Structure 1
Amino acid sequence: MTAKKIFTSVLFSFIILVAQAQEEDIFGISNKAKNPKSESGIGNAARNIVEMFAIELSTGAGYHQFGTSFYSENPSLYPLNQIQNFDTPLEITEESPLKMKGEDWTFPVFNAGVRINLFNLLTIGGGYGQEWGNYQNMTGGDFEFPFEGSSYQISKLYGTVGLVLYDANRRRSFLKWKYRRYASSNFYMQSEMKQRAKQIYPWRFILEGEFGQLNLKKSYDPALDISNQPPYSPRLAVADEPYYGLALRIERDFSEYTKLFIKGGAEFRKFTYAASDFSEFQNVDQTLYAMQVGFAIRLPGTKRCKIAGCGVVMKHSHNGIEVRGSSIFRLQNRKIGQWY
């Protein structure tokens, strides 16, 4: 290596170290300082807790499949129709039921919920959702099982538990592992690793499980829905056991407080369909494959700076109390090239 290359490498490393030192204290404001968010200890603890919560809204669409293993000693109690080979008898036993399936679309799906971030490792949350969908008649062999109507509406209360698979922290750990083959005396490569680790990485990948309870609406037998008659129970109803689902959630941060996310996965549900005299019922399974797009806002625990004439746009402190200099929709500690 020539003396010119050695000098260039040393100079480059010195410039990087100076830039890193300046980043820790820009305009006399320390990014690493852990200033309280309130003048009282209780208020500071409350604001730290508030900042763990995020409110989110999402919408999307899905494709669902449903089916049943039909068996009854009295098939005439169900709307079972023969669609071809009309002279074929219905031969079913408890060990060999009639497999019937159907499929259709759901749109739109709307969810509103709250989420808590736990140490950038786990997320827990819950919320309320509405779903509108269509269903076609189930078919199996030479027989058809028609539903009373072509659409349904479902409301749901749900909870979620998520495991963070990859984010900025895990990216930094991956970079350290990737650069492990370079010696600590290799200042150029070590500086490159540190610079890449300090870059803002806005993506987050979460494996998420969902569970909850459904409430089926607007799916009643028209033959029972007669005016001036007492209300009747629906023949198609949600089973008592909760539903569950599994999904991959991809988040993209726009600031420390706002993000856009895409969530895709499957939900597994169970319904029951009662006989015409409600003496027995059939189990109906539904699998919903859905894709959602949503927006989330994390509640700010740090107050907005209200000091007249203070033009600092980063997080900073006044009298030892941390305040924000920017809207929650902007990056608080922006770097070069991110000011506008």
Structure 2
Amino acid sequence: MPDASHPHVNADSGHENLGQLTAEIDIHSRPFRTLANEVGKTIVGQEGLIGRMIIALLSGGHLLIEGVPGLAKTTAVACLSKGISTGFQRLQFTPDLLPADLIGTQVYRPQTQEFVVQKGPIFSNLILADEINRAPAKVQSALLEAMQERQVTIGGETFFLEEPFMVMATQNPVEQEGTYPLPEAQMDRFIMKVVVDYPNRDEELQILRRMSKTKATIEVESVTTPAEIMTARSLVDRIHVSSPVEEYIVDLVMATRKPAAYGLDLDDLIQYGASPRATINLTLAAKANAFLQGRAYATPEDVKAIAMDVLRHRVIITYEAEAEEKTAEDIVALILQTVPVP
């Protein structure tokens, strides 16, 4: 059990309080480790994606998953929803989708001669926005209010979405046919962007043996509930973040805006740095990562573990960077190597 003398625990947290919080976290984090194992029964070799989905769930954020078709992105989200006793809606985004198809609309009832609200599929707990970048900008922007404000406006009337509410969106790489790039404002609403790569040879062999059937079923048991998610989130909020760790988080974000101040020659490669929302999300995700490890305090290792996924979609590169074949990931990796770790 960690004690209050640990360098990354706030000095004022108190030994007894820390011990009590650790005991609570140990109990309430177990269902989420079990959830990761349950999803892993179906999904092969995507431990990083599974972990990020659970961190986003615990942080109260939304997740963007990018990868070429056929990498089990949709299946992973479906497995996660099966592991939770809660509402789930899958939305297939297409070029002809309308905002009303997502949030709902007013329908005229001739019998009563009045308009009534017909709620759309967004009114659920877990939302899978499949191939989000195949829909036009109007539909993509219709998600913004729901994702940020946890509410939807239909015909001048506002409806609140039930917690826990989480959007997990999948997208194909923008180089693929029939895709629209997501606006920067919408990208910033996602706590993390996870890039899914091809499985290695051993994993591919395991996929072949497990899934090469005419009817491959998802065998995931329900191991947690919305109430347990909300309890876990309240514990994540109580996880201690010491001043050195807080300063490290701020330095990482500031280095994307003013790289020269951190000895980085990146001014010509970065068009826009990460927003203050990145600072908040990096802290929340680090605390959620600590929670999954059963700890009552966050360390710099927690921050480094999730920093790439929190920052990669928030660093907008210049044309010069593209000409030099530099990506946002390259820039974030260099920042993580350069900024001193406390």
**Is the TM value for this pair above 0.5?**
no
Q: Which has the higher strand share?
A: 1
TM-score by length of 1: 0.18
TM-score by length of 2: 0.18
Q: Which has the higher helix share?
A: 2
Q: Give the number of the structure whose alpha-carbon radius of gyration is greater.
A: 1
Q: Which has the higher contact order (CA 8 A, sep 6+)?
A: 2
